């Protein structure tokens, strides 16, 4: 199965501004709180959020980051994220399509939340390779994904997490499974 194309997301955001109810769902609110609690450091100088959607998690991550780059494939979603994060001058929200638009700078934190299962195996391998290159030694990768299969998605959350956990460039620090999602915190191996 191919990576889910940008048009899929644009159609959803044209139909409704927040198609997954990130801003209003109690489930999402609890999951975001759990996500932030899992981060072992109070501050990350350089952070990157993949698939920021309308910026709800982005705005919650912002106080913990020196600089935060948040990207999404949907320009409509990015507009909302920019508006939601306007009070945070250190947050940049922009349109990008991974793996080809993966940024070239180093990060102390990369958050891959509810986005990995949209990639094909080949594109996810490219994303993982880019994360290995751009995540600073000792930096954290936080994975959070819905665990139930969705017909439109090429992969499941469990497949995404297992794929990263199989890479010895990342050491698992924390893993937790809840009723509908799983969270794994990994650390980039320090260079010898």
What does the pLDDT look like over 59-108, one tens digit per residue?
999 999 999 999 999 999 999 999 999 999 999 999 999 999 999 999 99
Q: Is residue 33 part of a domain?
A: no
Confidence (pTM): 0.96
Q: Is residue 32 part of a domain?
A: no
Q: Which of 77, 109, 116, 107 is nearest to 93 (CA)?
A: 77
CATH of the domain at 167: 3.40.50.150
The phi, psi pair for 141, rounded to 5°, reads -115, 120
CB < 8 Å & 24+ apart, contacts of 62-65: 62/88, 62/90, 62/91, 63/88, 64/36, 64/39, 65/90, 65/91, 65/109
| pLDDT score at 191 | 65
Q: Is residue 56 part of a domain?
A: yes
Q: Is residue 84 part of a domain?
A: yes
First to last CA, the chain: 38
Q: Which domain holds residue 70?
A: 6-19+40-188
| pLDDT score at 71 | 98
Q: Is residue 144 part of a domain?
A: yes
Give the count of domains, the chain.
1
pLDDT tens digits, residue range 122-171?
A: 999 999 999 999 999 999 999 999 999 888 899 999 999 999 999 999 99
Q: Is residue 102 part of a domain?
A: yes
């Amino acid at each position: 199965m191919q990576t889910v194309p940008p048009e899929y997301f644009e159609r959803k955001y044209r139909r409704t501004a927040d198609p997954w109810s990130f801003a209003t769902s109690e489930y999402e609110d609890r999951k975001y709180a759990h996500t932030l609690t899992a981060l072992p450091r109070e501050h990350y100088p350089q952070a990157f959020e993949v698939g920021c959607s309308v910026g709800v998690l982005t705005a919650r991550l912002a106080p913990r980051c020196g600089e935060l780059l948040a990207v999404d494939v949907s320009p409509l979603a990015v507009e909302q994220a920019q508006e939601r994060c306007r009070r945070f001058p250190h947050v940049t929200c922009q349109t990008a399509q991974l793996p080809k638009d993966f940024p070239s700078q180093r990060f102390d934190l990369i958050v891959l939340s509810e986005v990995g299962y949209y990639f094909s195996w080949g594109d996810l391998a490219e994303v993982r390779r880019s994360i290995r290159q751009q995540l600073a030694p000792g930096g954290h990768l936080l994975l959070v994904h819905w665990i139930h299969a969705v017909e439109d998605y090429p992969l499941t959350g469990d497949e995404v997490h297992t794929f990263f956990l199989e890479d010895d460039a990342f050491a698992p620090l924390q893993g937790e499974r809840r009723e509908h999602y799983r969270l794994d915190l990994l650390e980039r191996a320090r260079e010898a």
